[in-house]
C-alpha cells in the first residue's frame, strides 16, 4: 500500500483544493482548546518513540507547538461545487506552465535524463508532476509538516491514527538530519517539499540523488526528481509507453462499453471503430486500455493505459492524472487536445444529482437510490433516458441534461 494516502490527497491535496470551490468553516482555537492540544500532543510520545524518535527530539519539537489554524480551516472545508475539468486543466496545464516546463527541461535536462535512465521513468512526467504539485518549486506551502500533522492528529476529528503516523515520521526525518525541522515546509496537509510527499511516503520513496547522504526534497531538486521517479517506478511505471491516447468515438458507438473502466486491447477498441485523433496507428496494439471521456461524448475522449493509473497513485483523481499526462506531452512539444470541451455545460452538484435521480426514478428509469452520486446504475438510467429522447446515450450528467429533464 502506498503510504502517500490517496484519501489524504483528495481531502487535502493541492489538486482537489484547485478543482473544488469550498465553503470554508473558520475554526477558532481558544485557550482551553490550546491546552487540550498540548495534552494531546504530549500523548503522542509512544507513537513517536515507536517511530524511532528520541525523547530529546520529541520534547524540543513539541514544547511550544501550537495548532495550525489554517490547516484546520482547510480540513473543515466542504466541497460544494465541482469545477468542470476543463477549468481545472486551463490552470493545471496553462501556457505559462507549459513554457516554464520547457525552460525547466532545458535547465535540468541532463539531471532528468540520468534520473529517467536510472529509474526507467519518463523524465517529462517527473517534470510535469513537479509543475503540478508546486509550480516547479515556486510554491511548496507555508506550513510546517510537524505542526500540520500534529494539528490534524489532535484536532482534525477523523483519521487521527493516520495523522499521528505522519507526525511521528516527520519528527524522525528531522531527527535524522535530512532537513532541519523548521525548514520542513509543507502544504496544510503535510505534503512536503518540491514534489509534495507526506512523511510516510518520504520514508518509503524519497531518494538521495545528489549523493550528500540526505534525502532532501525541500532544497535539492535532483533529490526531489529522483524521489518522484522512484515513487512512479515502484507504482509500476511502464517506461516509454505513455499514459494514454486521445481518441475519436464513432457516432454509432455503444456507450455502455465506456462504463466501469473496462479494459480491452487497443486492437479490440479499433474493431469498435475507435481511432487516434492524430490518425496514427497504435504503437503496441495488444496494450490494455479503458475508454474515458471526462465530459461525456461531446468532449475529448481517451484510451487510458496502465501509466494513467500509476499517476493516480500519486494523487487519486482523474483530472490530476490527465493534467500530469497532458502537461508532460505539451512540455515535449505536443499540442492541445484535438477535441474541444463542452464549455457551455457544467457538472452537477450533489443536490442536483439527487434531483436528477428522483426525476429519472419517477419516470421509470431507476437509478438504484437517490444518493447524490453518479454511479453505474445512474449512468445506465441516464443512457436509457437519452436513448428514448433521441440524444447521444453517453450517460453524462450535465446541467444541460438536468434542465432538459425538468422541462420534458
- CA angle 127/129/134 to nearest 5° reads 100
Three cell numbers, residue 367: 437509478
* Nearest-approach distance from CB 208 to Ca ion, in angstroms: 4
User: For residue 289, what are the β-bridge partners?
Assistant: 264
* Nearest-approach distance from CB 216 to Ca ion, in angstroms: 5
Binding-site member from 44, 83, 178, 214 for Ca ion (CB under 5 A)? 214
Spatial CB neighbours of 383, under 8 Å, sequence gap ≥ 6: 255, 256, 393, 394, 395
Interacting stretch for Ca ion, rule CB under 5 A, among 48-56, 201-209, 274-282, 294-302? Answer: 201-209
Residue 95 lies near Ca ion (rule: CB under 5 A): no
How remote is the C-alpha of 334 from its chain's centroid? 22
Task: Please identify, using beta-carbon distances, which residue of 214 and 346 lies nearer to Ca ion.
Answer: 214
Task: Please identify, using beta-carbon distances, which residue of 59 and 212 lies nearer to Ca ion.
Answer: 212
Interacting stretch for Ca ion, rule CB under 5 A, among 81-89, 219-227, 287-295, 372-380? Answer: 219-227
Residue 178 lies near Ca ion (rule: CB under 5 A): no
| Sign, Cα dihedral of 20, 303, 399, 335 | positive
Interacting stretch for Ca ion, rule CB under 5 A, among 77-85, 203-211, 240-248, 389-397? Answer: 203-211
Contact 27, 76 (CB under 8 A): yes
How do 20-23 and 78-82 pair as beta strands?
Answer: antiparallel
Interacting stretch for Ca ion, rule CB under 5 A, among 77-85, 216-224, 273-281, 360-368? Answer: 216-224
Neighbours of 251 (CB within 10 A): 8
Residue 176 lies near Ca ion (rule: CB under 5 A): no
Task: Please identify, using beta-carbon distances, which residue of 52 and 213 lies nearer to Ca ion.
Answer: 213
377 class by beta-carbon count within 10 Å (0-12 exposed, 13-18 middle, 19+ buried): middle
Task: Please identify, using beta-carbon distances, which residue of 71 and 175 lies nearer to Ca ion.
Answer: 175
- Closest-by-Cβ residue to Ca ion is 208
The rounded radius of gyration (Å) of the Cα atoms in the chain is 23
Residue 313 lies near Ca ion (rule: CB under 5 A): no
- CA angle 304/310/312 to nearest 5° reads 85
Q: 220-237 burial, b for 16+ CB within 10 Å, e for fewer?
A: bbbbbbbbbbbbbbebeb
Binding-site member from 210, 259, 268, 336 for Ca ion (CB under 5 A)? 210
* Nearest-approach distance from CB 223 to Ca ion, in angstroms: 4
* Nearest-approach distance from CB 210 to Ca ion, in angstroms: 4
Binding-site member from 87, 90, 176, 208 for Ca ion (CB under 5 A)? 208
Task: Please identify, using beta-carbon distances, which residue of 223 and 394 lies nearer to Ca ion.
Answer: 223
Question: For binding to Ca ion (CB under 5 A), which residues are involved?
Answer: 208, 210, 212, 214, 216, 220, 223
Amino acid at each position: 500500500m502506498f503510504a502517500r494516502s490517496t484519501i489524504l490527497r483528495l481531502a487535502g491535496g493541492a489538486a482537489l483544493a484547485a478543482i473544488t470551490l469550498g465553503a470554508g468553516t473558520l475554526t477558532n482555537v481558544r485557550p482551553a482548546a490550546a491546552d487540550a492540544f498540548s495534552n494531546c500532543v504530549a500523548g503522542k510520545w509512544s507513537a513517536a518513540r515507536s517511530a524511532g524518535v528520541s525523547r530529546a527530539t520529541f520534547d524540543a519539537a513539541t514544547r511550544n507547538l501550537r495548532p495550525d489554524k489554517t490547516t484546520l480551516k482547510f480540513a473543515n472545508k466542504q466541497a460544494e461545487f465541482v469545477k468542470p475539468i476543463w477549468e481545472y486543466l486551463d490552470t493545471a496545464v496553462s501556457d505559462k506552465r507549459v513554457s516554464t516546463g520547457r525552460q525547466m527541461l532545458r535547465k535540468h535536462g541532463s539531471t532528468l535524463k540520468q534520473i529517467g535512465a536510472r529509474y526507467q521513468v519518463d523524465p517529462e512526467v517527473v517534470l510535469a508532476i513537479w509543475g503540478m504539485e508546486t509550480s516547479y518549486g515556486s510554491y511548496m506551502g507555508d506550513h510546517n509538516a510537524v505542526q500540520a500533522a500534529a494539528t490534524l492528529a489532535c484536532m482534525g476529528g477523523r483519521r487521527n491514527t493516520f495523522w499521528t503516523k505522519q507526525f511521528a515520521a516527520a519528527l524522525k526525518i528531522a531527527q535524522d538530519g535530512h532537513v532541519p525541522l523548521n525548514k520542513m515546509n509543507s502544504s496544510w496537509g503535510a505534503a512536503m517539499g518540491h514534489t509534495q510527499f507526506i512523511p510516510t511516503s518520504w520514508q518509503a520513496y524519497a531518494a538521495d540523488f545528489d549523493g550528500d547522504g540526505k534525502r532532501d526534497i525541500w532544497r535539492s531538486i535532483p533529490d526531489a526528481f529522483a524521489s518522484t521517479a522512484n515513487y512512479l517506478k515502484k507504482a509500476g511505471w511502464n517506461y516509454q509507453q505513455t499514459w494514454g491516447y486521445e481518441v475519436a468515438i464513432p457516432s454509432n458507438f455503444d456507450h455502455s462499453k465506456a462504463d466501469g473502466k473496462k479494459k480491452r486491447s487497443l486492437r479490440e477498441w479499433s474493431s469498435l471503430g475507435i481511432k487516434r485523433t492524430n490518425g496514427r496507428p497504435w504503437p503496441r496494439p495488444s496494450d490494455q486500455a479503458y475508454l474515458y471521456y471526462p465530459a461525456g461524448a461531446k468532449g475529448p475522449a481517451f484510451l487510458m493505459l496502465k501509466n494513467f493509473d500509476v499517476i493516480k497513485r500519486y494523487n487519486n483523481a482523474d483530472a490530476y492524472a490527465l493534467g500530469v499526462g497532458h502537461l508532460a506531452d505539451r512540455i515535449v512539444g505536443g499540442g492541445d487536445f484535438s477535441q474541444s470541451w463542452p464549455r457551455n455545460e457544467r457538472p452537477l452538484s450533489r443536490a442536483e444529482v439527487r434531483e436528477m435521480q428522483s426525476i429519472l426514478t419517477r419516470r421509470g428509469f431507476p437509478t438504484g437510490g437517490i444518493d447524490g452520486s453518479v454511479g453505474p446504475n445512474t449512468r445506465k438510467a441516464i443512457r436509457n433516458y437519452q436513448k428514448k429522447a433521441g440524444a447521444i446515450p453517453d450517460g453524462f450528467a450535465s446541467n444541460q441534461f438536468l434542465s432538459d429533464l425538468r422541462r420534458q
